[in-house]
Amino acid sequence: MTNTSIGIDIGGTKIYIAVLKDGDMIGDPFKFSTPDTKEELLNIVTGSIEKILAKYPEVKFVGIATAGAVNKEGDKIIGSTGNMPDGYNTIDFKEVLSSRFGLDVLIENDANAAAYAEYKIGAAKGQQNTITVTLGTGIGGGIIIDGHLLKGKTGVAAEVGHMQISENPKRKCTCGAYDCWEAYASGTGYAINAKEMTLEVPAKERGFLKDKNIDEITSFDIIEGKKQGDALCKQIHERWENLVLKGLIALGNIFDPESIVISGGMVDCIDLRKLEERLNKELAAASKVRLLRAQAGNYAGMLGAILLAEEKFGA
């Protein structure tokens, strides 16, 4: 039997909607900017599904990867994020898409879904215990234990970005708490680290960064400066690597995974082999963890949601 399905990825800036046959995308997905209102968002989703169903009437189910928290059953959004339209978490995709189109709906948090894709078809294929950490604007995570996504009692487990690390001075996170891992080790954290550390140095001693607007320094600037042998850029980058390592050590010690897969925009800033070596030196137990680069691609979230939907509804 073949499964034709619809995969949807709803993020804070972009929405992707695609047709899939047995988990493989057919053609390019529809792409949209995330609109300001939940009504517009729902129109984008239902309008695209209508078009797809006109061509592929055999579609039976939809897999949705979304920013925000999703319940344990995988059928309801229970928490939104700051960059989503107001009231996003009140959209009942299951009710709308089943009553209007007769489709089954599975929803999963995008970081969880991406981890599931890495486990099933990506870098950690065949490994029953693996964690995917998405290092981007924030830090997301998905944890696979004995071949299953760790969901917790309500579905919101694996918020690895909000594990607390001890740093000085303290820094506030987008979640409202202080000293979350993502406040320091995400791409956003990287830029704040760079600004703080540059301000500590007299202007004329800032080397590669001396002519840069301090509020606009990015990880790309630092990496470029580091390549050119700049001492301050090297220090900034090393501090960030140490901060990334802190979180990885905690995850390695707690979950004893076969691998930690790194995805997201910041993966290109990491020397994975070097960090893997340091990680394995720091772990409390003798167990080794492999540090891998994500392989499931830009649509990992959508593909993970479809893999989960196929397991639940597939032929």
| 3-class state of residue 137 by DSSP | coil
User: What is the DSSP secondary-structure string of 50-110?
Assistant: HHHHHH-TT--EEEEEESSEE-TTSS-EEE--TTSPBTGGG--HHHHHHHHH--EEEEEEH
Q: Phi then psi for 262, rounded to 5 degrees?
A: -105, 125
Minimum CB distance to Zn ion smaller for 63 or for 161: 161
Minimum CB distance to Zn ion smaller for 46 or for 174: 174
Q: How far is 112 from 66, CA to CA, in rounded Å?
A: 10
Pairing of strands 259-263, 290-293: parallel
Minimum CB distance to Zn ion smaller for 175 or for 223: 175
Give least dist CB 109 to Zn ion, A.
15
Give least dist CB 180 to Zn ion, A.
3
Minimum CB distance to Zn ion smaller for 91 or for 139: 139
Give least dist CB 259 to Zn ion, A.
25
Listed in sequence order, the DSSP H helices in the chain are 38-55, 93-101, 110-120, 181-185, 187-199, 219-227, 231-255, 272-282, 300-313
Q: How far is 173 from 169, CA to CA, in rounded Å?
A: 13
Minimum CB distance to Zn ion smaller for 49 or for 160: 160
Minimum CB distance to Zn ion smaller for 26 or for 254: 254
Give least dist CB 268 to Zn ion, A.
24
Return the closest-CA partner of residue 196 out of 240, 258, 245, 227. 240
Return the closest-CA partner of residue 134 out of 193, 65, 51, 88. 65
Give least dist CB 164 to Zn ion, A.
8
Binding-site ranges for Zn ion (CB under 5 A):
162, 173, 175, 177, 180
Give least dist CB 181 to Zn ion, A.
8
